[in-house]
Amino acid sequence: MSKGFASNYRVVLLAVAICLCFGGLGARLVELHVFDRDEYLPVIDRARRQIIVESARRGDILDDRGNILATSQSMIVLGVDPQAVRPGDEKKWPELAELTGLSLAEITKKFLTKTRGGPAEPFAIQVTKPTGPAPAAAAGDDDDAEVDDPADANGERPIRWEKLCDDVAESTYAKIRGLDIQGVYGNRVYRRVYPHNSLAAHVIGYVNKSGAAVDGIERYADFYLHGRDGWREGERDGRGHEIAQFRTRDVPAADGYSVTLSLDLGVQHIVEQELDLIAQKFQPQKATIIVSDPRTGFILALANYPTFDLNEYNKVPRDDMRAMRDVAITDQYEPGSCFKIVAIAGALNENLVTPQTSFDCSINQIEYEGRVRGLPREDQSDHFKMLTVAQITARSSNRGAAQLAMLMGDQRFYDYARAFGFGQLTGFPLPGEIDGTLLPPNKWDALTITRMPMGHSVDATALQMQMAMGVIASGGYLLRPQVIREIRDTNGRLVYSYDTVVKRRVISEQTARTMARLLMGVASTQGTAPTAAIPNYEVAGKTGTAQKIIDGHYSEHHHVASFIGFFPASRPQVAISVIVDDADAHALNGVAYGTSVAAPSFKHIGEQLIQYLGINPVYAPAGPSLVMGGNRP
Amino acid sequence: MNASPTHGFINHLVVYTLVLIGLSGSVGLGAVWLRHQISLAANASRVLDARIADVERNLAETTTAVETERDPNILLRRDTEWHLGLVPPNEAQIVHVNEDPVMRLAAKRNRAVFGEGPGQVAVAFPLAAQR
C-alpha cells in the first residue's frame, strides 16, 4: 500500500480543522437554538409568521323566482406604501390620479408623506387579508386602517400603508397594476351590491361598509348570510409573499347561505310603480302598499313611499332619513272604516245578527249599559235610515258599526279586536315592528265603544290591517306574515324551509265566507268603492278614510286614505293594502277619501296582477249541454 | 515500503470522512431539491387557488351585471330606447272562458254532429258529463 499524501502532521491538521469547523458550527447552532432562543424567537415570529384571514362571501338574497336582490362583489381598497415609492414612477402619477378619481395634489401628498408623528403599537403577529402581488399589509374592512412601523428616536413612524381610495373595480385595478407603480397595491374586500337599487329597499335592508348588517332581512337573517371567515397560519418571505409550503393551519372560509324571500320582483315592481304614480298625483306624506298571499301569509310585495337607494344608503340626506324607515311596520295610524270588519265579523260569528238584520242608523244617540251614548255622524247621513248588516258593510255606516259593537259588548268586542291581531306584534321577521295601540275596556271612556268600531281610538300598522283582512280571505285564520321562503347553503342544499304559520282561528269558515260576500258589496255600485271593482272578478274589500289627529284634534283636512281587500272573493289569491297618508292637498275637493285615492290603485294593481300571476276569474257553473262521448266518425 | 498501521487508519478515516461528507451533502442536496419541489407544488397550488378565486370573482361580477340589466326599470328604459313597443297584456286582449272548456268543446262538436239549432231540444247526458 502506498503511503499516500497524508503525513501525520497534515492529517492531524486537517482532522483538527474539520473538527473545529463542525464544532464551531455546532456551537453556534447550540447558542442560537438553545441559549439565545428566547431572544430570537419573537423576532423570527414577527418577521416570518403571519395569519392570513380569508373573508367569507356573504350569501345572496333572492326573490321567489331566483332573481338576485342582494349579492356580494369583490372590490379593491387601494393604498400605497410611501417607503417603496420610486422617484422614477412620478411620471405615472397623473394617470393614476385619473384612474382613481383623486387629484394629482392628493396623490403627491400621500406618496411623499413618509412618516407621521405619535407612538405606534409594536407589531405582534401580523394579520393580513388576501392581497395582490405587492407586499401585504393589514387593511381589511376597516377602510381607514393604516399600517406603520414602530416610531424612531424622533417619535416619527414610517408610514407603510396609506389608503388612496376604496371600492375600486377589478377592471380599474387591473389598469392600475398595469402602470407598475411600485408601492401601490390593493386589498380585496367584499362589498354588498343591490342590483335593483331601491326595489324592496325596506324589506331587504342593507349592510354598511364595515360589514355590519343594519336593517331589514340583511339584519334579521345575518346569522345565515354572513358566513364564517377562514384563516391560514404560515410564514412569508422577505418580500412579504406567503411561503405556501410552510402553512401550518388552514381553515377554509365558509361562505354565507342564500336566503330566498317570498317577494316577487315583478309584483314588487308593479307595486312600486303604483306608489310612484300615487306620489306624483297626490304628493302624500307617506304611503304603503302590501301584497300578500292570504292563503299562506307570505308577502309578495311590500313597498313604502318615500324610499331610498340601497346602494347609496350613506348619501340619504339627514332630513330625509325617515325614508329609510319601513313605515309598514314601524308607524301606526287610525285605520278608520277598515276596522269595521272586526265589529261586523264578530257580531256575525257570535250569531248575534245575520246579513239581513236591520239597524236604525238615523238615530244620534243610543242607550248602552244604562247610559245614553252619542253615536258618530255619518258621512252621508241623509241616505242612512234602516240599514241591514250587508248595507252597513257596503255603505260603511259608522252608526251601524257602533251598534254592532254594542250588541257584542265591550269585552267581547275587545277580544275580537285582539283576535284579529290588533295591539300585538304580527311576528313579521323585520326589526322595528311596533304593536299598535288597543286599550283594554277598563281604560275606555264612554265614547270608545261607539268610536272604536269605526276605527278611531285604536292604532294599527299597515301590516296588521293586511293580516286582519287576511283573516277573512283565509277562511277565518290569523296567519303570521312571512317573507323568508327558504334558506340554502352554497351547494344549493336546503337548510331551512318556512311554512305557513297559523296563529289562531278568529272566526268560523262560514262567517269568513259571509264576510267575503258582504265585502264584495263594498266594491259594487251600491258600495263605497266601485272604483276598486275589476270586471269579471269578485273583489272584496273595505275603504277607510281616517281623520288624522293634528294638535290633539281630529283634523278635517288631513286624512289617511286606505283600501284593503282581496280577490277573487270566493277563492282568494291575493290580498292588497293601499294606505296613503295625508294626500288631501292634491285630492278631489281637498279630502283624501279611500274610495278616490286608494281604491283606484287597488284596482290598477289588481289588474296587473291578474296578468302577471295568471289569476283566473271564478267560473260560473256550466249550464246543461249536449255532450256525447266517443270518437267522432 | 509498507505503510504503517497508523497511516492506513488515517487514510481510511479521511476517505470515510470524505465519503460521509459527500453522502451527507448528497442527502442534504436531495432534501433541498425535495423541499424545492414541495415549494413549487405548493406555489402552483396557491396560484391555482388564486386563479379559481379570480374566476369566481369575475363570475360574481358578471352575474351582478346581468342582474342589474334585468331590473324592470332598466328593461322599461331599453324598451323605450330601442322602440320595441312592448307593453304588458291587458284585460281587453283576453277572452275568459267562463265554463269548463271540455264541456264547451264537446257541446260545440255535438252541435255540429246533430245539427242542433234554434227550436230544437237540448239533450244532456249526465253520466257522460260526470266521467
pLDDT in tens, A484-517: 999 999 999 999 999 999 999 999 999 999 999 9
The residues in A 123-152 lying below 8 A from B, measured between CB atoms, are 130
A57-71, A235-249, A293-307: which range is least confident on average? Answer: A235-249
Residues 6+ apart with CB under 8 A from A289: A271, A274, A275, A301, A302, A303, A576, A577, A578, A579, A601, A605
Of the residues B19, B37, B61, the best mutation for testing chain A's interface (the one with the most A CB atoms within 10 Å of its CB) is B61
Task: Check if the beta carbon of residue A537 is closer than 8 Å to that of residue A568.
Answer: yes
- Partner-chain contact A193 B111, CB within 8 Å: no
∠ CA B116-B122-B126, nearest 5°, is 125
Neighbours of A146 (CB within 10 A): 17
**Torsion, CA A271, CA A277, CA A281, CA A285, rounded to 10:** 50
Answer whether residue A134 shows pLDDT above 50. no
List chain B residues with CB under 8 Å of A243: 39, 42
Q: What pLDDT is recorded for position A244?
A: 83
Q: How confident is the model at residue A142 (pLDDT cuts 50, 70, 90)?
A: very low
Which of A71, A170, A623 is closest, CB to CB, to B57?
Answer: A170
* Residue A52, min C-alpha distance to chain B (Å): 13
pLDDT at A629: 40
Q: What is the pLDDT of residue A6?
A: 56
- Provide the pLDDT confidence category of residue A420 given band limits of 50, 70 and 90: very high
Q: For residue B121, what are the CA distances in angstroms to A509, A622, A629, B106, B107?
A: 41, 18, 19, 17, 13
Q: Can you give the pLDDT at residue A4?
A: 52
Which pLDDT band holds residue A14 (cuts at 50, 70, 90)? confident
A 196-255 residues inside an 8 A Cβ radius of B: 196-197, 199, 242-245, 247
Q: Chain B contact for A624, CB < 8 A?
A: yes
Residue B2 has pLDDT above 80, yes or no: no
| Mean pLDDT in residue range A425-452 | 92
Does the structure show a pLDDT above 90 at A277?
Answer: yes
Listed range (A1-15, A57-71, A358-372) with the worst mean pLDDT: A1-15
Report pLDDT for A149. Answer: 60
CB-nearest to A244 from B45, B110, B111 is: B45
**In this predicted structure, what is the pLDDT of residue A478?**
96
How large is the ipTM? 0.75
Percentage of chain A beyond pLDDT 90 is: 58
Lowest mean pLDDT among A199-203, A476-480, B109-113: B109-113
> Does residue A178 register a pLDDT over 60?
yes
The answer to which of A9-18, A86-95, A531-540 has the lowest mean pLDDT is A9-18
Instruction: Report yes or no: A256 at the B interface, CB cutoff 8 Å.
Output: no
**3-class SS shares of chain A: helix, strand, coil, % to 5:** 35, 25, 40
Query: Confidence band (pLDDT; 50, 70, 90) for A139?
Result: very low
**Would you tell me how many other CB atoms lie within 10 Å of the CB of residue A163?**
18
Q: Among partner residues A6, A193, A629, which is closest to B64 by beta-carbon distance?
A: A193
pTM for the whole thing? Answer: 0.80
Beta-carbon separation of A535 and B17 below 8 A: no
Find where cell 290580498 sits: A575
Question: How does pLDDT run across B72-122, given as a tens digit for each residue?
Answer: 999 999 999 999 988 877 767 777 677 788 888 888 888 877 765 555 555
Across chain A, what does the average pLDDT equal? 87
Residue A299 in this model has a pLDDT that exceeds 80: yes
Give percent of chain A above pLDDT 70. 90
Are the beta carbons of B46 and A244 separated by less than 8 Å?
Answer: yes
pLDDT-wise least confident of A127-141, A294-308, A569-583: A127-141
pLDDT at B121: 54
Q: Which of residues 162-191 of A touch B (CB under 8 A)?
A: 170, 188
CB–CB contact A629 B113 (8 Å): no
Q: Could you tell me which residue, A555 or B128, shows the higher pLDDT?
A: A555
pLDDT tens digits for range A52-70? 888 899 999 999 999 999 9
* Region A388-393 average pLDDT: 94
A333 contact partners, CB below 8 Å, separation of at least 6:
A459, A460, A461, A462, A546, A548, A560, A579, A581
Asked if A376 and A366 count as a contact pair (C-beta separation under 8 A), the reply is no
**Residue A340 pLDDT exceeds 90:** yes
Burial category of B74 from C-beta neighbours within 10 Å (exposed 0-12, middle 13-18, buried 19 and up):
middle
Distance, CA of B22 to CA of B76 (rounded, Å): 80
* Whether A307 contacts A202, CB under 8 Å: yes
Distance of residue B81 Cα from the nearest chain A Cα, in angstroms: 19
Q: Residue A55: CB partners within 8 Å, gap ≥ 6?
A: A129, A130, A140, A141, A189, A190, A229, A253
With a cut of 70, say whether residue A151 has pLDDT above it.
no
Quick check: A598 and A578 in contact, CB under 8 A? yes
Mean pLDDT, residues B58-67: 88
CB A163 within 8 A of CB A146: yes
Chain B, residues 52-111, CB within 8 A of chain A, namely 53, 57-58, 60-61, 63-64, 67-68, 70-73, 88-91, 94, 96, 98-100, 103-104, 106-107, 109-111
Contact check, Cβ <8 Å, B72/A266? yes
Are the beta carbons of A632 and B3 separated by less than 8 Å? no
